[in-house]
Amino acid sequence: MPTESLSYIRALYLARFREVLAATPDVHIEPALRTSTGELAVDGDFSLPCRVDLVSRGGGQRFSVDSNRLHSFEPIVADIDGMRVEVSPFAWDNVSVAVSGPPSLESAKALCQWFAAWFDPDDDNPASEDGWYEVVHFMSDPTAFGHTTVVTVDLGSATTSAVEDLFTRLLAVGAKKVQLSQPT
């Protein structure tokens, strides 16, 4: 399991998040976008919600935190119970997840269920010591390319446990290969 590299990639992003947060006081951290009635605002064919990094308390101005550097390392290849996992350098807030093996509908369903679990749609997660809610922010609609299903994910402040849970869920639906990389 590439846990050490994942932890470092997450730490780079959270360091950048701290910088932006220090420069933009009096903000809501990681709010979900909502409709005027308070329901989650959803988009796309899969009706997925989205979180933003920061929103000012007064005017509702949104602030985005974008990774400003990548952790450089040789691609990591691991085997998890017969599922090949390949991890190349990527930014925590912008990672491509490519799943090969199961039918695209099964992959899409597993990806969406994982996203819902780590998105925390009811805002139940308490803030960590640092003020993060340890949630994912965004996932694109799953797209099938032959036998491969691809999504782009902003892992937000989610812990590396979110990625480990993703691997577990994909293994359960028969994934043969999962690749994490910087989107092209």
Prediction pTM value: 0.95
Find where tokens 């950048």 sit: 16
Total domains in the chain come to 1
- Identity of the residue numbered 84: R
| 105-149 per-position pLDDT tens digit | 999 999 999 999 999 999 999 999 888 999 999 999 999 998 999
Counting Cβ atoms within 10 Å, is residue 125 exposed (0-12), middle (13-18) or buried (19+)? middle
Helices (H), 29-159: 104-119
Residues 44 and 142: their CA atoms lie apart, in Å, by: 10
CA 159, CA 12: separation in Å to the nearest integer? 13
Tell me what the mean pLDDT of segment 92-100 comes to.
Answer: 97
Distances (CA, A) of 172 to 66, 183, 184: 32, 25, 28
Contact 97, 178 (CB under 8 A): yes
Which is more confidently placed, 140 or 103? Answer: 140
Q: Tens digits of per-residue pLDDT, 51-79?
A: 999 999 987 799 999 987 788 889 999 99
Residue by residue, DSSP assigns 24-42 as: S-SEEESPBPB-TTSPBPE
Residue 43, domain extent: 3-181
Which is nearest to 119 in space by CA: 137, 133, 97? 137
Does position 29 have pLDDT exceeding 80, yes or no? yes
pLDDT at 72: 85
β partners of residue 152: 96
Distance (Å, whole) CA 136 – CA 138: 6
pLDDT digits (tens, 9 = 90+) for 35-48: 999 999 999 999 99
**By three-state DSSP, how is residue 118 classified?**
helix
Q: How far separated are the first and last CA of the chain, in Å rounded?
A: 24
With contact defined as beta carbons under 8 Å apart, do 13 and 93 qualify? yes
